[in-house]
């Protein structure tokens, strides 16, 4: 190796060393405050609460309980169903809005983006609570219907069920999905669309064969970023879910509260994380396959 080459190597190495030094505080914090607790949680899920002491002989007992008992299965399935539905509705509702922002709004995009993001950032707790005011027994919809004489008694099926949970969560995450989709729509090269038009594609064909597949990365990002927090949501099912709308996070909380069975709580949490990971991988694969098919 030439002398110059060796000096360059040395420089590169010191450059790399400086980079590692720079990023090491952040990585240290993440290892101790994120990786370590997650590792401990996984260990906990293989332990057992026996009386007041923790039995640390590894056992699969918690997972046996988590997978076989009907109540947990129901909660897992319901959380999955609610999270999938919310993801679907937010993406379907958000896509036209992102499209509008990317292709229709010429001036004042910034104001639109701001208007869309402000509700997302403001008091999550109270936003969910607002739905109690709207859907409640003496709420907005019921008092309106009563005054209009459309019903003689307040409707009691509006609140405290899985549907009200889906509505409130869809509202909470609505704007969150717009940004990633908008960003990927913005990147689309107009020349592609012109070429397609010249070759005789109709507007709808252009959308289906160019715009939609090229915006798919944004759609995938939006779906994943919604699905994860929704699956683990605790506030919404507690406030508007009633007993029929409870989700897995409520059961995890119970294990750290009233039931005081931390290993089971850990096993439920690890299972939901594993479920999220598997589903995300499957979803991303399926979405990419679908995109390839369309083209």
Q: List binders of other proteins among 160-219 (CB under 8 A).
A: 171, 174-175, 186-187, 190, 193-194, 197-198, 203, 206-207, 210-211
Q: Which is nearer to other proteins, 146 or 291 (CB)?
A: 146
Chain positions 9 to 48 lying near other proteins, rule: CB under 8 A, are 16, 18-20, 22-23, 25-27, 29-31, 33-38, 40-41, 44
Tell me how many residues contact other proteins (CB under 8 A): 96
Which of 185, 215, 25 minimizes the C-alpha distance to 105?
185
Q: Which is nearer to other proteins, 61 or 188 (CB)?
A: 188
Q: Which is nearer to other proteins, 67 or 123 (CB)?
A: 123
Chain positions 48 to 67 lying near other proteins, rule: CB under 8 A, are none
For residue 8, the minimal CB distance to other proteins (Å) is 15
Chain positions 222 to 281 lying near other proteins, rule: CB under 8 A, are 224-225, 228-229, 231-235, 239, 249, 252-253, 256, 262, 265-266, 269, 272-273, 276-277, 280
């Amino acid at each position: 190796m030439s002398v110059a080459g060796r000096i360059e190597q040395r420089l590169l190495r010191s450059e790399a060393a400086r980079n590692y030094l720079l990023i090491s505080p952040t990585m240290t914090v993440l290892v101790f405050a994120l990786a370590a607790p997650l590792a401990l949680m996984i260990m906990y899920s293989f332990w057992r609460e026996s009386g007041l002491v923790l039995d640390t002989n590894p056992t699969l007992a918690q997972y046996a309980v988590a997978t076989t008992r009907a109540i947990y299965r129901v909660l897992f399935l319901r959380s999955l169903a609610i999270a999938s539905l919310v993801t679907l509705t937010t993406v379907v509702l958000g896509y036209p809005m992102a499209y509008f922002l990317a292709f229709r709004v010429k001036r004042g995009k910034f104001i639109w983006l701001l208007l869309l993001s402000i509700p997302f950032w403001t008091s999550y707790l109270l936003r969910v609570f607002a739905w109690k005011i709207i859907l409640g027994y003496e709420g907005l919809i019921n008092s309106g219907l009563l005054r209009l004489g459309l019903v003689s008694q307040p409707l009691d099926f509006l609140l405290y069920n899985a549907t009200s949970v889906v509505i409130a969560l869809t509202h909470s995450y609505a704007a969150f999905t717009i940004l990633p989709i908008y960003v990927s729509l913005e990147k689309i090269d107009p020349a592609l669309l012109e070429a397609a038009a010249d070759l005789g594609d109709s507007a709808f064909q252009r959308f289906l064969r160019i715009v939609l597949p090229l915006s798919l990365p944004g759609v995938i990002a939006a779906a994943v970023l919604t699905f994860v927090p929704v699956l683990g949501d605790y506030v919404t099912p507690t406030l508007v879910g009633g007993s029929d709308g409870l989700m897995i996070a409520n059961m995890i909380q119970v294990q750290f509260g009233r039931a005081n069975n931390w290993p089971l709580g850990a096993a439920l949490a690890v299972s939901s994380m594993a479920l999220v990971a598997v589903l995300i991988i499957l979803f991303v694969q399926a979405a990419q396959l679908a995109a390839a098919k369309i083209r």
